[in-house]
Amino acid sequence: MPADSAADGAIFDPLRDAAFGANPGLAHLRPARSGRDRWHRAVVLGGQGHFARARAELDLLGRSERPNSALRSFAASTEASLLRQLGWHARAAAFDGAALAAAGDGTSIDAVAARCDALTGLAADALGVGRLALGHSLLRRCETLLTAATGATEATGVAAPQALWRQHIRLNWVRAELALAAGDASTARTAADLAFAAAQVSASVRHVVKSRLILAAALCCDDDLTAAQALSAAVVSDCRDNGLLPLLWAAAMLRSAIADDTAAAVLVIETAQTIELRGGRFRKT
């Protein structure tokens, strides 16, 4: 059974639900009783912008978990994600590389999920330093793994087996972002639509919100500015409602760029200041 399935028929777990389900803004997290709990706590805290607290959970997990395991890999990928959100793509790549090494070459769902997380992370890191070709190559490796594990292709990604739902969404997030960086509006829109459709049938509010944010950027690239402005405003509202501070910052950045919205520009500054108070240090360019 996968470590990150939000709705796999198991007994309800509020930590897992907050990490990959319907309640990402949960304020009072129960104490960790296992390494997996620590990972879920780190995912929740990172999504809320509590960077220092999330890193502390990952540090404790890294000290206790055996070196070669899917959970150790998930933790390293999460550490990389925290860095990447703040602009530290080169530093994030070191953690994603460690995640790939820790995942090993097993065939369990967890092992495949961990390798896919590491590969999409590395692709996003490559995008951040301008290496688009490398990013595409890494995504092809990820897609090959997913196809072998599930028999799914991108054409059927929305119906991908529940166990790897998150990996299919992440693949299309990064594919859309690579296309946006290259000015390929058609590919960006297609990938963003796939990610959004898959997110909608998942239990994860956070994945729906981020998918809508990427779709808003793709709409803008596709010169559908009216739709992009409306969707970006909805994403800002969703982020506020669910306590998703890093996504709120990104949504405000997009909205301030595509709409005449002074409030969005102020929101960018306010959310950045709060993130820094919570232990997130932005890379200055």
pLDDT per residue over 101-139, tens digit each? 999 999 899 999 999 999 999 999 999 999 999 999 999
The number of residues in the chain equals 285
Does the pLDDT value for residue 6 go beyond 50? no
Q: Which CATH class is domain 33-212?
A: mainly alpha
> What confidence tier does 10 reach under pLDDT thresholds 50, 70, 90?
low
How far, in Å, CA of 15 to CA of 36, rounded?
10
pLDDT tens readout for residues 137-154? 999 999 999 999 876 444
Element (H, E) at 226: helix 225-242
Place 210 in a pLDDT band, splitting at 50, 70 and 90: very high
| 30, amino acid identity | R
For residue range 196-209, list pLDDT tens digits in order. Answer: 999 999 999 999 99
Distance CA 206, CA 248 (A): 11
Residues 159-180: tens digit of each pLDDT = 344 789 999 999 999 999 999 9
Residue with tokens 């058609």: 186
Q: Kindly report, residue by residue over 226-261, the tens digit of the pLDDT.
A: 999 999 999 999 999 999 999 999 999 999 999 988
Closest CA to 180 of 171, 169, 192, 168: 192
209, amino acid identity: V
Can you give the pTM of this predicted structure? 0.93
Name the strand (E) or helix (H) holding 200.
helix 185-200
180 contacts 218 by C-beta, under 8 angstroms: yes
Domain boundaries, the chain: 33-212
Crossing angle (nearest 10°) for helices 70-85 and 89-103: 170
How open is the CA angle 222-223-229, to the nearest 5 degrees? Answer: 105
Q: Which of 149, 52, 54, 48 is nearest to 107 (CA)?
A: 149
CA distances from 254 to 120, 173, 264 (A): 22, 16, 9
